[in-house]
Amino acid sequence: MPEARRGGAVERGIQDSAAKGGDSADETGKPRRRQARGERRIAQLLEAAGRVFCATGYTAASTNSIAREAGVSPGTLYQFFPNKEAIAVELGDVLLNRWRATYGQAFTPTHMDLPLPEMLDAVLDPLITFNCENPAFAVLMHGSEIPGQVTEEHDVLHDTLLTRVEEILGSYLPDTPRAERARTAEFVFVLFKGGLDLVLSHEGEEREAYIRELKNAMFRYLDPLVGDTLPRCRSQRETSAPDS
């Protein structure tokens, strides 16, 4: 595989602190340049592991297949990772950190001010883009044989994301009982995950068509509940604004 294709999202995430280069030593006494080379090698191995996990699944993947995909010897891989589980944990950590940043971008307070169609675009677009650009995320988060540390962190993140969905619904449905709003949020979340599976299983124009279908399904479910109701944040500001 061409080297240019190896430098993807995982490499960008793991190299942030190593990209400075130079020969000066840090507090550990290790030259920065040597550390940067090590970080690049780790990123290369993680990128390769992501591709192998997507192609074969986590269970069937091996350290030899990951080393081969990365274009290095198994001995080089073992300089950085003792086994496949350690690679999965490290890759899961990188992807989970990027996912946290992504849903932080999606669920911002300003998006709670938008009409329903615009809000769906603003929230769904970064979440869908992340999953399309990081297909290994779905493999690592939902596989039955994935290391427990990864699945535990994902479960915590899942609960946080579900809470965010409920919060944003609260801006549109402030008078809805909390239990009912929680059920709506959970159904929205399941609808998103099911639609995302279809999105990820297609490419090109078909993928774009399924993204539109996912948004349409979400809108058709929520629109009868929300109707023409202004989001609570905007409604409160407009009510309290002085007359011009």
Q: How far apart are CA 189 and CA 38, in angstroms?
A: 39
Q: What is the pLDDT of residues 13-44, one digit of tens each?
A: 544 433 434 444 444 444 555 588 899 999 99
> In the chain, what are the helix, strand and coil shares in percent, each to the nearest 5?
75, 0, 25
Joined together, the tokens standing for residue 52 give 């192998």
pLDDT reading at 93 higher than 80: yes
Q: How far apart are CA 161 and CA 188, in angstroms?
A: 12
CB 213 within 8 A of CB 199: no
Q: Which residue shows structure tokens 């992501």?
A: 50
Confidence of residue 146 (pLDDT cuts 50, 70, 90): confident
Q: How far apart are CA 80 and CA 55, in angstroms?
A: 23
Per-residue pLDDT, 8: 52
Which comes out higher in pLDDT, residue 57 or 148?
Answer: 57
Classify 22 in phi/psi space as left (phi over 0), alpha (psi -120 to 50) or beta: left
Burial class (CB in 10 A: 0-12, 13-18, 19+), 46: buried
pLDDT reading at 239 higher than 50: no
Confidence of residue 113 (pLDDT cuts 50, 70, 90): confident
Q: How far apart are CA 31 and CA 86, in angstroms?
A: 25
Q: What is the pLDDT of residues 195-233, one digit of tens each?
A: 999 999 999 999 999 999 999 999 999 999 987 665 554
